[in-house]
Each structure stands twice: as C-alpha cells, then as structure tokens.
Amino acid sequence: MHDIEPYYKWREYYIASEDSDSPFHGKAYDEFTFTNKIYNYFIHPQWDDFGSQTLYMKILFVDYAEGFAMIEMIGEWNDCINNDIMFLKREIVDHLLRKGIDKFIIFCDNILNFHGDDDSYYEEWYEDINETGGWISFINLQDHVLQEMENFRLQYYINLGPNLSNIHWRYKTPAMAIRHVIEIMNSSVKQLRY
C-alpha cells in the first residue's frame, strides 16, 4: 500500500500545495516519514488527509477558468461508519465550489470498497453544481464498488457506470483527460435518448 503514490506526471501543470486557492496550499510533504494509514497499512506520504480515517486524496489538476477539478482517491470509502462523503463535501468540495469549480472528475482506481449510507451529501453536491451546468464523474470504479454505489442510488447525482470504468487517463494530459470524459458522458446521453 505504501508504494502506491498519487499520479505525479501532471505536476508540470498543477501542484495543489503551490496553489493559493487550494485547500492544501502550503502543505509540506516528508517523503521519508509515513504517518497516514488505511487500517494497519501505511500509505505513501504524498496522499492528502481531509478528515477521513480510511480515505485519502490528491488534487491532481484544477482549471479555475473552466471550472474543472480532477481528484485521485485511495482507500475505503465508508459513508456508513466514517461519513466520508461529509468530510469530502465540507473540507474539499465546498472550498472548491467557492473558487468557481463546478465540474469534478474523481479518479477511483484505488477505491477498494464502498459502504454507503444516506445520500443527502451527494444530493447537496449535485444541487450545488446543477444550476451552473456542472457535474460529477467517478472514473474507473471497480465492479463491486460501482455496484454498491448504484445500490445506494448515487447514479442520480453522479456520472458513473461501466462506460466510465475503463479510462486510461494516466496516458493523457489533463486537457485530453477532461475531453475524453466529456466525450464519453455525451455519447452516453445520446445513447439514452435514442
């Protein structure tokens, strides 16, 4: 687990700790001291803590002019016991919303499990961005995680599904990854209409 580090090849485009509008502005990282854990397993020190005991994140890219944020997640998403969505919404999403972000791409390749509960924070997040034409997309969910999220009706608030579960985003620039996600979402909507 400690070998899995956040995607770093977009650092030439964006570094959250150097962005004065980021919730992680000014954060210093110690590459040699492992302090954060998911259960009994240490994780790489580049992952950012936002209040959850089992879920960590990294803001990989933000485009304030266009309203985009791309965030990578790792760990167990547990709304049932830890209320992870509350921490994500209050500590990160609300901050980014105030900065004009209304389109969220959440990379979920490293989400191991999902335990759902109430969907009110997802609904609030959706309502916060719906008026401006914003959206939320969860990318590369494992099948069992996707199934659990659908069981808790998150598809009513978030773009997720098999069409967004096999995207090779690491081989793209941030702009290319954004375009690719938008193309998939647009083609999915067209398929539903006809």
* pLDDT at residue 1 in the model: 55
Task: Take residue 125 and report the two structure tokens written for it.
Answer: 């997040």
* pLDDT at residue 20 in the model: 97
**Single-letter amino acid code for the residue at 80:** C
Neighbours of 166 (CB within 10 A): 9
* pLDDT at residue 192 in the model: 40
Q: How many helices (H) and strands (E) would you count in the chain?
A: 5, 6
* pLDDT at residue 148 in the model: 97
User: Would you say 52 and 80 are in contact if contact means Cβ atoms under 8 Å apart?
Assistant: no
49's CB contacts (< 8 A; 6+ apart) are: 36, 56
**Going from the N-terminus, what domains does the chain have, and what CATH number goes with each?**
48-193 (3.30.750.24)
Taking 70 as the pLDDT cut, the residues of the chain under it are 1-3, 188-194
* pLDDT at residue 117 in the model: 94
* pLDDT at residue 2 in the model: 60
